[in-house]
Structures are given as C-alpha cells and as structure tokens.
A and B are shown apart, each in its own frame.
Chain A
Amino acid sequence: MKIAAVMPAFNEEKVIGQVLLKLKSHVDQIIVVDDGSRDRTSQIAKDHGAIVYRHPINRGLGGALGTGIKAALLNGADVIITVDADGQHDPEEISAMIKPILDGQADVAIGSRFLIKQSMPLFRRTGIPFFNLVAFILFGIRSTDSLSGMRAFSKKAAQSLKIRASGMEASLEILKESRALGLKMKEVPIKAIYTEYSTSKGLKFLPGLKFLIKVFASKLIN
C-alpha cells in the first residue's frame, strides 16, 4: 500500500520546509503542486524530498488538487491524502484519516474540524458553518466541514473524481461529485492548528464572498 500526500502550495516558502519535515515519516511519498509561486516554494519542497509539479501560472486550489491527485496516481499511489501547506494539519492524524479507507469502510474521508471541541478564530467558527449551510441548500451536501483541506481518497475514488472547479469551490465539488458517483464518505475528527501564519493564509471575507458568488453561479450553469 503506497500512501501519497498531495500538497497544493502557493507562495509558502516560509513554512513549507517545516511542514514537509513533520509530514515525511507519515507517508510513503509527498507530491507538492507548486501553483505558480513566485518565491522559493518549489526549491524548498524539492530539498525536502518532495516530488514537485509546477504550474506555470496560478490556477487556484482546485487546479492544484487536480494536478496533485493525477500525479499521485501516475506515481502509483494506492491511498491519497491531501494536506495544506500552511501547517494547519497535524500529520499525526494521517493514520486516523486513512484508516477508514484501508479498512474498506470509505472511499473518501474528510477531516472535520467541528467534530471535536477546539478553539478557532471567530471568523472560521462562523464562516465555515455558513458555507456548510450553503452547500446543503444548493447541493444537498451534509457536511460538518465542507471546506476542509484534509481529505483522503482511495485509488478508486481518485480515479473517478473529476475536479473541474479551479478555485476553492473545488472543496464543495469534491463532496458533490463523491456523492453523485456513489462513493462511500466518512468524516474523521481532526484538530486544526491555527498559527498566525495559517490564519493569514486561509479564508477571508472578500475572497469568501467571491467564492460564494462562484458557487451560486456554478449552480446556475450546471
């Protein structure tokens, strides 16, 4: 069983080295998709033993995830786990994330930050449930953490999922598609490590608004 971590990264030179160091021992292979960074993200990721794929221009989360998952499959991964590059996820939790996949209980596991009580910046604490509600109303998706960046996929799930959205909408698209494809889904409780850095990198108000408009528009088109 080859476990591959897929990490989308955009201008993460400050932290990606440390994040990769901690991650290394928990997976067999790390695939970093440098999403058109203008800093040394690619170089640092390479130095830390990751296989780096580099987008010539920035395409957003969905674009990077799609490339990473495809690359992982090309490299022979059996289980794929997506991890944020900002250090928000604890690599210790990878084993819990992939367990339902290895046991055959699920094809897709989503790490949820809302299944255990923990402190979280106010904007996230209120913003994410709001997006969960939007996801439920628009697509009928029931999720306690619809925007979570930590997800595990079986090979079968990774092969059948097609991510079309290029931005953050991809998070919702993955849930929507998984359900449409009849993949078994499971939520796994995870901690979220909020440092000043990871908070500054995450969801903010204006991009959140843009994201919301895009989600509504995509509902209109599809």
Chain B
Amino acid sequence: MFFIQILIVAFAVLVISRIVLSFKNGKIAIKGMLMWLGLWIALLIVVLSPQITGFLAKILGVWRGTDAVVYLSIVLIFYLIFRIFVKLEKIDSDLTTIARKIALRGENNHEIK
C-alpha cells in the first residue's frame, strides 16, 4: 500500500464517520446521507483497488484510469454545483415571498413610527 492510499483512506474514513454522525444528529436527511456515503465509499473502492479505474477508462474510451476518474469527478462536481445553485435560487425566492408577506401585512412598520 502506498502512503497516498493510506492518507486518502484515513481521510475518507474520517469523512464517512462525520456523515453518519451528521445524520444521527439530524443535520442531514437520509437521502443526503446515502448520497454522500455512496460517493465516499466509491472513492474508497477506487483508492484501494485502482485497477477498477482501468475498466472504467475502457468503457469511457479514454487511455488511463486516472483520467477517467478525473473526468467523472469534474462532471459530478459541476452537477453538485448546479444542484446547490438551484436550491439557493429556491431559498432566495422563498425569502422574497416571506419578506413580501411581512411588508404587505405591515407587521414591522412599528420600527418607523
């Protein structure tokens, strides 16, 4: 086992424990937990048996396994950013709805007497 593998495995185990802990404390929902667990377990598998990536590379039609992993990671990261963006937009619009309701009810007008 290479040093880099030990390092990544140790880090992944730490992250996985944090994910489970966050779920137990009710900070993330079960869907979120499963998604993140899946991601980090997949990472563990790839780190522990890198030859799998060679198979992946063949399917994707690229030369090296590491290339395949990098490409897939970038796609995944972009997807996650997009998801976060959509979620933020939703929260932004919800905030506006709440601010509008409060404004139209005139509840906070006492501040300006």
For residue A41, which residue of chain B has the nearest CB?
Answer: B112
Q: Which residue of B lies closest to A217 (CB)?
A: B85
Q: How far is it, in angstroms, between the C-alpha of A126 and the C-alpha of B83 when the chains are bound? A: 34
* Chain B 73-97 near chain A by CB (<8 Å), digits 1 or 0: 0000000001001100100110110
- CB atoms of A70 and B96 under 8 A apart: no
Of residues B85, B89, B102, B112, which shows the largest number of chain A Cβ atoms within 10 Å of its Cβ? B112
Q: For residue A139, give the distance in angstroms from its CB to the closest CB of chain B.
A: 17
Residues of B within 8 A of A74 (CB): 104
CB nearest to B105 among chain A residues: A53
Main secondary structure of the interface of B (DSSP, over half): helix
A70 touches B93 (CB 8 A): no
A82 near B: Cβ within 8 Å? no
Known: A217-B85, A221-B89. A63 touches B100 (CB 8 A): yes
Q: Is A67 part of the binding interface, using a Cβ–Cβ cutoff of 8 Å?
A: yes
Interface string of A36-61 (1 = CB under 8 A from B): 10000011001000001111110100
Q: Is the CB of B104 within 8 A of A221?
A: no
Q: Closest Cβ of chain A: how far from B80's Cβ, in Å?
A: 15
**Residues in B neighbouring A221, C-beta threshold 8 A:** 85-86, 89
A156 located at the interface, meaning its Cβ lies under 8 Å from any Cβ of chain B in the complex: no
Task: Determine how close the nearest CB of chain B comes to the CB of A104; give it in whole angstroms.
Answer: 30
A54 x B96 contact (CB < 8 A): no
Contact assessment for B85 and A67 in the assembled complex, using a CB-CB cutoff below 8 Å: no
Chain B residue with minimal CB distance to A44? B112
Known: A54-B109, A54-B111, A55-B99. A67 touches B104 (CB 8 A): yes
Residue of A at shortest CB range from B100? A67
Q: Which chain A positions have C-beta within 8 A of B109?
A: 42, 52, 54
- Whole-angstrom distance between the alpha carbons of A56 and B99 in the complex? 6
Interface string of A156-190 (1 = CB under 8 A from B): 00000000101000000000000000000000000
Q: How far is the CB of B101 from chain A (nearest CB, A)?
A: 9
Chain B residues whose C-beta falls within 8 Å of the C-beta of A166 in the assembled complex: 92-93, 95-96
Q: Which of B37-54 contact A (CB under 8 A)?
A: none
Report yes or no: A67 in contact with B95, Cβ–Cβ below 8 A: no
In A184-222, which residues have CB < 8 Å from any B CB? 217-218, 220-221
Cα A54 to Cα B100 with chains together (Å) = 8
B93 touching A164, Cβ below 8 Å: yes
Q: Is A66 an interface residue (CB 8 A)?
A: yes
Name which of B89, B99, B108 has the most chain A CB atoms within 10 A of its CB: B99
**Of all chain A residues, which has the CB nearest B93?**
A164
Please give me the residue from chain B that is nearest to A37 by CB atom.
Answer: B112
When distances are taken between beta carbons in the complex, the residues of chain B under 8 Å from A54 are: 103, 106, 108-109, 111-112
Smallest Cβ-Cβ distance to A51: which chain B residue = B106
Contact B89 A59 (CB under 8 A): no
Known interface pairs A70-B104, A166-B92, A221-B86; A63-B99 also in contact (CB < 8 Å): yes
Task: Write 12 A-B pairs (CB below 8 A) sorted by A numbering.
Answer: A53-B106, A54-B103, A54-B108, A54-B111, A56-B103, A59-B95, A67-B100, A74-B104, A166-B92, A166-B95, A217-B85, A221-B86
